A = this chain, B = another copy of it.
Amino acid sequence: MTERPAIGFIGLGIMGLPMASNLLAGGYRVCGLNRSPARTALLVERGAATAASAAELAAVSDVVITMLPDTPDVETVVFGSGGVAAGIRPGSAFVDMSTIDPAMSRGIAARLRGAGVAVLDAPVSGGEKGAIEGTLSIMVGGDEAAFARVAPIFAVLGKNITHIGDAGAGQIAKACNQLVAAVTLEAVAEALELASASGVDPHKVRSALLGGFAQSRILEVHGQRMLDAAYTPGFKARLHKKDLDIVIAAEQAAGLHLPAAELLHERMGMLAARLPEADHSALRTLL
C-alpha cells in the first residue's frame, strides 16, 4: 500500500474547516492555513500542522486544496506574494474547490500545468451540512489522470462526484447548478405567492405540485422554508448573488442571452442588497 498523499488545505471557513477535519478523520496528514489564525488553531487542535504562508504549505504538500470565497481570493492565494505558485512542487496536484469564474480556473490550470503540476477545479454543492457530513456533490474539471489521482480524497468529502470535462468544466457545471437553483426558487416563490394572494392554501398547493411534473427538490425543501418564513441560512443571498455574477460572466463569455438567468441575477442582487445574510429562499419576500 502506497503512503497517502500529504494534503495542504487553504481556507478554513464554514466549508473548509469541516472538509479539512473530515480528511484528518479519514487518516490523511493535513497542513491547514487560513487568513484568520483562530480558524487554523481549530484545525491544529484536531491534529493538523500549519505553515507560515501558502508557498510554505505548498512546498510540504502532495495535494494542495483551496476553499475560498471568491475569484480574487483564489487569484491572490495562488499567484500573490508567498502564494501557492511560489512553493508548489512539480509532480504535485492543485485542487481548487472554491466557486469562481471558469475563466480564472482555466488560467490557473494553464499556468500551473506549465510548472508540472496537475490541476483540477472541483466546486461543490450541498452547503455546510454536506461539508460536515461528507456528502457534498463535487463537479470536477481537469484531465482524467489528475481526476483519478485525487478521486480517493473526493470520496472522503462527498457523494456525487462527477468528472465533467477539462479545466473550467467543473465551474461551468456549478454555474449551471446555481442558475437552475435560483430560477427554480423564483418559480416556487411566485407559485406560492399566487396561491396565497388568491385565497388558496399554499401548503396544499405545494403538496399537490410535489406529485407531478412541477416536483423539485427546491419545491420540497425551500418551498417549505418559504411557507414557514424560515429564512435563517441555509445558503446566504449574498453568496448566491456572487455565484450568479459568475453565471452572467460565463453567459457573456459564451455569447449567449439567457433571460431567466439575467432576471434572477437582478432579483438575487435586490435580495442581497436588502437581506444579504438571509437564506436565498427569501426571494419570496420581494414579491
Contacts and interface: CB of A to CB of B under 8 A. Distances in A.
Interface stretch (A24-32, A47-55, A74-82, A211-219): A211-219
Contact of A187 (B163, B187, B209, B255): B187
B260 A214 contact: no
Contacts of A165: 199-201, 204
A173 B204 contact: yes
A164 B194 contact: no
Contacts of A254: 194, 197-198
Contact of A137 (B162, B169, B212, B255): B212
A172 B186 CA distance: 18
A239 interface: no
A183 interface: yes
A221 interface: yes
Contacts of A247: 194
A197 B126 contact: no
A258 B164 contact: no
A34 to B, nearest CB: 26
Interface string A105-144: 0000000000000000000011000000000010100000
Nearest to A175: B194
Contacts of A259: 186, 190, 263, 267
B160 A251 contact: no
A177 interface: yes
A264 B263 CA distance: 11
A177 B287 contact: no
A72 to B, nearest CB: 21
A160 to B, nearest CB: 3
B164 A208 contact: yes
A215 B213 contact: no
A105 to B, nearest CB: 12
A193 interface: yes
A205 B176 contact: yes
Interface string A249-284: 011011111111101100100000000000000000
22 contacts: A137-B212, A160-B212, A164-B208, A165-B199, A165-B200, A168-B200, A169-B199, A172-B194, A173-B205, A173-B208, A176-B205, A180-B216, A181-B213, A183-B184, A186-B260, A187-B260, A193-B256, A194-B254, A194-B261, A212-B217, A213-B218, A216-B219
